[in-house]
Amino acid sequence: MLHMTHAANVLNAVGGHPDMDHPDFIPKYPLVLPILNISADIVWFTQDSVQHYEVLESIPPAGYNSSISMAYQHIVNLLTSLCHDHGEAAVFTGNLSLQVNASTSYGQIAAPVTSLETARAALIGVADQGGGCPVTGKMWPKTSSIASGPAGQDNSAEGAEFSHAARYTEIMQGRSYKPGDKIGVPTGENQSIAWGNVRRFAPNPAVSDFLPDQCVDGGSWVVRNESFFVEWVWDQHNHTLDTSIVDTWEDCAKKCEAWTVDFNEPLKPCAMWSWVSEDTTIGDIPLTGHTCLLAQGGGPVTKTQTGLVSGCQYGTVCNHTLPGVPLQKKSDTPPPPHLAERCQTIHTQGIEFAGNYTELLVAMHNTFNGQPDLLMETIGQMYTLKSSAIELMETPDPRISANTMGIGPPWEYIPQRSQFEARGRKPFPII
């Protein structure tokens, strides 16, 4: 919330308006982050996912010029150039009453932004806390310390706080940093990480995941008759995939689900399956009836192919739709009554969670657009939402093997809980 306050203060200072209560504000997952060109997913806590997000906070594969820190520096450079050409008074024209003055119990401050100096302090402060502070004599952010802010360019200061990137390193290495440590070499106390004892859920959860026509044993699937979704991946792998003989397409879906769960790889889930309903031939390759083929990705092939049934998991390569053609058929087999009832209950819980998330965005929007006194109340809503997310993740997913997966919280926009239309689509809150 402190970072959001810094960013909102800067935007308000130059005459802009933070627009958080907006249908397009919340991204749809999976996504590729602009500038960084790195994918982002909502997945459970694994070594792979922590390492992935450590890269997001530090230096991405494309280099430091594509880092989050450099993005903030680029904004500072633009503001500096504008002030040089037009003067600060012509750049910082925002309404001072929109500025939010915030502080935390551990001493961090988001001060009002009224000038180039305070804008730079706000934005580079966010970058420092994420990726680390500059190192004297080195190019930043190509080289950063493990310190997170004003405690210094020198992370040896007693009581120095460490950056988000440094915290990820501590998790990965199972050891804490202490003042004076070198980057990537924590020498403090050992920390035991119970990687197997985490809350797990289907990747990239959505409010639609538990609709009746998606509520089938094994997961949330787009299921289509006369289709061979994995054909392209099958061709690319010389017609060899993870293959087995199972009685039904539901059994094939369960095997795909087990891949993701048992191997603990939410960033590399089994995304698609194809089940041969009767003996058939693809090209000149014979496929035996009841063969189940599994694939991680590549995108589903949607042309008609008799003799097969295929499924593609929501939140993976399908991303809630199939490319090129609208959904025609999902499942010929309705869920049994007990499963349908349970899924309906969870679907309602998911909508309620997403609605509460939307209301949090409304509160944040109003805080940064003329009602700064709402900040503490908004922070309270944030912690309430955290508790709701934990409750969902600790609720067993009825579609998946008992006690192996929970329900992922859907971070989505619910128009009925928004004030976007009531405000006339304008930024200022309803008084």
Which residues on neighbouring strands pair with residue 210, listed in sequence order?
A: none
Query: Quick one: average pLDDT of 87-112?
Result: 89
Six-digit token string for 186: 């924590």
Give SS3 for 243.
strand
Q: For residues 295 and 319, what is the distance between their CA atoms, to the nearest angstrom? A: 16
pLDDT, one tens digit per residue, over 213-258 is 667 666 666 677 888 888 888 888 888 888 999 999 888 988 887 7
Give SS3 for 114.
coil
In terms of pLDDT, which residue wins out, 195 or 160? 195
Six-digit token string for 94: 């925002």
Are 276 and 308 spatial neighbours (Cβ–Cβ below 8 Å)?
yes
Instruction: Name the phi and psi angles at 48, rounded to 5.
Output: -60, -45
256 burial (CB, 10 Å; 0-12 / 13-18 / 19+) is buried
Q: For residues 84 and 361, what is the distance between their CA atoms, to the nearest angstrom? A: 35
Highest mean pLDDT among 27-41, 171-185, 342-356: 342-356
DSSP label at residue 334: P
CA atoms within a 13 Å half-sphere pointing along the CA-CB vector of 267: 12
Query: 406: how many CB neighbours lie within 10 A of its CB?
Result: 22
To which residue do tokens 């306050």 refer? 5
In terms of pLDDT, which residue wins out, 354 or 205? 354
Q: What pTM was computed for the model?
A: 0.81
Identify the H or E element spanning 281.
strand 280-282
Highest mean pLDDT among 124-128, 138-142, 208-212: 124-128
pLDDT, one tens digit per residue, over 86-99 is 999 999 999 999 99
Among candidate residues 399, 400, 395, 362, the one with its CA nearest the CA of residue 381: 362
DSSP label at residue 370: T
pLDDT, one tens digit per residue, over 372-385 is 999 999 999 999 99
Q: How far apart are the first and last CA of the chain?
A: 23
Supply the pLDDT for residue 322.
40
Supply the pLDDT for residue 148.
81
- Mean residue pLDDT across the chain: 85
Residue 158, pLDDT > 60, answer: no
Residue 126, pLDDT > 70, answer: yes
Six-digit token string for 379: 């922070």
Q: For residues 308 and 10, what is the distance between their CA atoms, to the nearest angstrom? A: 56
Counted residue by residue, the chain has a size of 431
Cis peptide leading into 30, omega within 30 of 0?
Answer: yes
Supply the pLDDT for residue 319.
46
Supply the pLDDT for residue 92.
98
Q: For residues 266 and 45, what is the distance between their CA atoms, to the nearest angstrom? A: 9
DSSP label at residue 288: -
Could you give the percent of the chain with pLDDT greater than 90?
42
Which residues on neighbouring strands pair with residue 266, listed in sequence order?
A: none
Among candidate residues 166, 128, 178, the one with its CA nearest the CA of residue 148: 128
Q: For residues 31 and 279, what is the distance between their CA atoms, to the nearest angstrom? A: 38
Residue 404, pLDDT > 80, answer: no
Residue 81, pLDDT > 60, answer: yes
Supply the pLDDT for residue 340.
82
Q: For residues 173 and 210, what is the distance between their CA atoms, to the nearest angstrom? A: 37
Give SS3 for 148.
coil
Per-residue burial over 413-425, b = 16 or more CB atoms within 10 Å of its CB, e = otherwise: bbeebbbbeebee
Supply the pLDDT for residue 214.
65
pLDDT, one tens digit per residue, over 186-221 is 999 998 888 888 888 877 888 887 887 667 666 666
Query: Quick one: average pLDDT of 164-192?
Result: 90
Per-residue burial over 356-382, b = 16 or more CB atoms within 10 Å of its CB, e = otherwise: bbbbbbbbbbbbbbbbbebbeebbebe
pLDDT, one tens digit per residue, over 318-342 is 544 443 333 344 444 566 778 888 8
pLDDT, one tens digit per residue, over 301-320 is 878 888 898 887 655 555 44
Residue 110, pLDDT > 80, answer: yes
pLDDT band at 263; cut points 50, 70, 90 = low
Six-digit token string for 166: 């440094």
Among candidate residues 143, 149, 97, the one with its CA nearest the CA of residue 122: 149
Among candidate residues 107, 90, 165, 101, the one with its CA nearest the CA of residue 133: 165
